[in-house]
Structure 1
Amino acid sequence: MKASLLFLLACTAVLAVGARADSPEEPKLVHKVQELAHKATAMAKDAFSRVRESDAARQARQWLSENAELAKQRLLWLKQQLAELWKKTPSA
């Protein structure tokens, strides 16, 4: 029993020394990770803005707006046709 207690104390001491040794390095590591995250965010924002401003994106937006208007017109026509059909059906 004394040997296991001594072993437990030795392991605790080793962990405490290891934790103490890591603590000065931790702020540097956290700072480095934060820098990398900021760089990655900036790169992603830059890439998205370049894609948004590209000719392909402009053409896609134009195509969508034109086809959305066409879809609206066809839906309106369909509603009119259904309204006329509804009027023509005899009520029971």
Structure 2
Amino acid sequence: MKVSLLLALLCTAMLAAGARAEAPGEPAALVRKVQEYVQQATEVARSVLTTVRESETAQQARQWLADNAALARQQLAWLKEQLTELWKRTPAS
């Protein structure tokens, strides 16, 4: 989740908690309500992230990245070998 979205949720939770507080002079009730909303938002975010992490699409993306990273390393090693050979063939001035 983006930080801006989390901040917006937190601000909304604080406003909602302020509106639902029994008495305007009770900051403890407001704090308790905000804590409850933040805890619920955290649980929802954790659940969504777990679902996304375990999704087939995420698994395929991780596999694609792993495969392409190995291919990139192989190509880099080949290029390094070619440059080394070229360097050896170049006559010294």
Aligned to 2:61: 60
**For residues 2-23 of structure 1, what are the alpha-carbon distances to aligned partners after superposition, in whole Å with 9 as ceiling and x for unaligned?**
xxxxxxxxxxxxxxxxxxx71x
* Distance of 1:66 and 1:37 partners within structure 2: 39
* 1:88 Cα offset (Å): 0.6
Alignment coverage as a number of residue pairs: 70
* Distance of 1:50 and 1:27 partners within structure 2: 35
Q: Which has the larger radius of gyration?
A: 1
Residue identity matched to 1:64: L
Q: What is the Cα-based RMSD across aligned positions, in Å?
A: 0.9
Residue aligned with 1:90, SS: coil
Residue identity matched to 1:85: L
Misfit runs of 4+, over 3 Å:
none
What 5-or-longer segments of structure 1 have no aligned partner? 1-20
TM-score, normalised with respect to structure 2: 0.73
- Structure number with higher helix proportion: 1
TM-score, normalised with respect to structure 1: 0.73
Aligned to 1:44: 45
What 5-or-longer segments of structure 2 have no aligned partner? 1-23
Residue aligned with 2:29, SS: helix
* 1:70 Cα offset (Å): 0.4
Identity, in percent, stands at: 54
